[in-house]
Amino acid sequence: MVVIVGASIVPINRYYESSAEDLAFEAYKGLTGELKDRPKADVVVISSTYAELSTNSVNLANKIASYLGHQGSAVMRVEAGESGGPAVYTAFSLIKSGIADSVLLIGVEKMADQHGKTIQEYMARGLNYKDYLAGVMPVHYAALMMKKYIEVYRVDYDYFVNWPVKMHSYAVENPMAMLKFKVTPQQVKDSLVISEPIRLYDTGARGDGAAVVLLTSEEVARKYSDDLAKLQSVKGSSGDLEVSTSAMAVRDLALKLGDSVRDYYVQVHDSYSVAAAIQLEDLGLLPRGRSLTELDSVEVNFEGGLKARGYPGGATAVYQLAEIYLQLTQKFKGRTTSKEKALMISTDDLMTVAYGAKVIRE
Amino acid sequence: MKIFPPQIWRLKEELYSIVFGKCEDCGEIMYPYRPVCRKCGSMRVTKVKSKGYGTLIRYTISYQHREGYEKLSPMIVGSVLLDEGIEIVAPISADPEEVRKGMRLQAALRKYYVDSSNGLIVYGIKFRPADQD
C-alpha cells in the first residue's frame, strides 16, 4: 500500500527573492513541521517542466535534494510537459513495487523571473518543432479547440464564463490561492483578448511555486504521522494533439481509471476553460456540451483551479496531490469536500498526456 | 530562440512542403508524418505530399506573441481542411480584415523567424488566400 503521510505547499506567486531551491525549502519546512520524525527519503523525485530554461541549470534534482539535506537519496527529475503527473506516477510506482519505502515528491517551478513573452516561448517548445518555428503557441490550439466546442455544441462565450467565475469564487475561500478575488461574468467578458475567443480569464494564472508530498509504504507510515491518506492507484496515458472537443489521452485515462468518478472529489487541470470542460466530459463526470452549466452538481477544484489558485507549470500535479491530501485529512483551509475519495487529473497544457491519481481517506 | 542549422536542414521537407503519412496496411492518415502507424503499428508508412490547397474551417486571431515574432502580431492560426481530406493547423498569412471561415487557401513559402544572434532566417509553409481561377 502507498500512503501519503504529509504534504505542504507554498502559495503560488511571484518570488523574486527566492530560487527554486529556496521555494522547495519553504515547502519542505512546512512538511517537516507536520511530521513526528524527520523525513528519510529513499528517493527524491522532482517535478519541474522548465527547470533548464527558467533556472539556467541542469541536475536540479540533486541540487534540491542536497539543499534539503537529503544527500544519499537516489534523485531524479521526471517530466512530460506541464503536468507533474509523471512524477506522481513514478513516486507511486517506486513504493508500490517495493523498490523504495519512502519517496519525497517535490514539485517546483520558477515562472516569474522571465517576461511573459519568454514564458510563452518556453511553453511553445512543447509543440511540434515546425509549429514552434512558425511562431505558433499553445493558446492558439486552445482557441481553436474552444471554437470547435462552440460549433459542435452550439454554445456561446457566456457558457465558458461559468468556469472562471466559479473558480474565483472558490479561491476567495482558499488562503493559499494566488488570485483571491471574485470576478463577475461581465469582468470575464471584458478581459483582455489573448487569442480570440480566449480571454485572459480563460487561462491559468502562472506563477512560481513549490509543493512537497511525502509518500511511504504502509510499514513506515505511522512513524511520521497519524493523518494518513492512501494513494490507491495512479494511471497515465498519452495521445496526439488534436483540435477536438475531446482529448485522446483523457479518454483513454478514463477507461484505465475504471469505475464511475461520480463518488470522487475531483481536481482537473484547467489550463484553459475549454480544457476543464473537455476533462469533465471525457471523464464522464458531466454531460457533453453542458458541463460548464452544471458545475453546481459536482465537487470540482474547490481550491480555485489553475485559473485562480495558480498554475505552477510542472509542479501543478504535486500541488494537486498535496491539496487532496489536505482535503481528505481535513487540514485544508478553504472550501472542503465531505467525500472520502478524491481523484486528481493532471494533464499538460493541451491534454496530450493525462494522469489520474485516486486517493482515499484512511 | 537560437537557430541550429542542422535542425532546420533536417526539417527541410516538412518546412517547405506539407507532408503527411499514409499507412500502407490500414490506410490511416497522420499529420505530422511519423514512421509508425498509430492505429495498427505498421512501419509501412509512406510520405505523401499535399498539393497545398485547402479550405479554412476555423481560425483564431492572436494578440499575444512570442519573442522574435512581434512583426507577425496579430497572428492568425487556422484549422485548414486540405483538399486531400486532412485537417491540419497552420499559420494563415492574410489580413485580419479579409480572413473568413470557408475561404479557399493555398500554401505559400513565407519567412518564419530571423535569429538575431547569427542572422539565420527560417522559412516555412503558411497558407494565404488562394488565387482566383
pTM above 0.80, yes or no: yes
Identify the domain containing residue B124 by its residue range.
5-18+51-129
Number of H helices, E strands in chain A: 14, 11
- Secondary element (H or E) of residue A250: helix A248-257
Q: Which pLDDT score is estimated for A287?
A: 97
**Sheet of B19-23, strands arranged across:** B29-30, B19-23, B45-49
Residue B119 lies in a domain: yes
Mutate to test the interface with B, among A137, A140, A157, A200 (most CBs of B within 10 A): A140
pLDDT digit string, tens, across residues A150-165: 999 999 999 999 999 9
Q: What's the average model confidence in pLDDT over A82-103?
A: 97
Grid cell of A244 as nine digits: 477536438
Measured between alpha carbons, how far is B121 from B73 in angstroms, rounded to an integer? Answer: 18
Domain covering A136-204+232-361, topology? Peroxisomal Thiolase; Chain A, domain 1 (3.40.47)
pLDDT digit string, tens, across residues A8-59: 999 999 999 999 999 999 999 999 999 999 999 999 999 999 988 888 889 9
- Pick from A136, A99, A103, A86: which is nearest to A31 by CA? A103
- Yes or no: say if A27 and A106 are a contact pair by the CB < 8 Å rule: yes
Mutate to test the interface with A, among B62, B63, B101 (most CBs of A within 10 A): B62
Measured between alpha carbons, how far is B74 from B63 in angstroms, rounded to an integer? Answer: 5
Q: What's the average model confidence in pLDDT over B4-23?
A: 94
Write the CA distances from A177 to A59, A88, A173, A305, A333, integer angstroms: 30, 22, 8, 9, 11
Residue B117 lies in a domain: yes
Mean confidence (pLDDT) of chain A = 96
Residue in the block written with cell 485548414? B80
Grid cell of A335 as nine digits: 472550501
Chain B residue with minimum CA distance to A139: B62
Q: Is the dihedral of CA A49, A55, A56, A59 positive or negative?
A: negative
Q: Is the CATH number 3.40.47.10 carried by domain A2-114+207-231?
A: yes
Write the CA distances from B74 to A28, A193, A200, A204, B96, integer angstroms: 44, 11, 16, 22, 8
Contact A195 B87 (CB under 8 A): no
- Pick from A94, A342, A98, A103: which is nearest to A229 by CA? A342
Residue in the block written with cell 482558499? A174
Q: What's the average model confidence in pLDDT over A135-143?
A: 97
**A267 bridge partner residues:** A344
Residue B98: which CATH number?
2.40.50
Contact A140 B62 (CB under 8 A): yes
Chain A CB contacts of B62 under 8 Å are 137, 139-140, 143, 194-196
- Pick from A294, A310, A274: which is nearest to A82 by CA? A310
Looking only at Cα atoms, what is the longest distance across chain A? Answer: 57
Measured between alpha carbons, how far is A186 from A236 in angstroms, rounded to an integer? Answer: 38
Grid cell of A211 as nine digits: 509543493
What is the pLDDT confidence band of residue B133, given thresholds at 50, 70 and 90?
low
Q: What is the DSSP letter of A314?
A: G
pLDDT digit string, tens, across residues A283-308: 999 999 999 999 999 999 999 999 99
Mutate to test the interface with A, among B4, B33, B59, B60 (most CBs of A within 10 A): B60
Could you tell me if B20 lies within 8 Å of chain A, comparing CB atoms?
Answer: no
Please give the tally of structural domains in chain B. Answer: 1
Measured between alpha carbons, how far is B131 from B133 in angstroms, rounded to an integer? Answer: 6
Domain ranges, ordered by start, for chain A? 2-114+207-231, 136-204+232-361
Of A120, A124, A195, the CB nearest to B60: A195
Residue B45 lies in a domain: no
Q: Which pLDDT score is estimated for A115?
A: 87
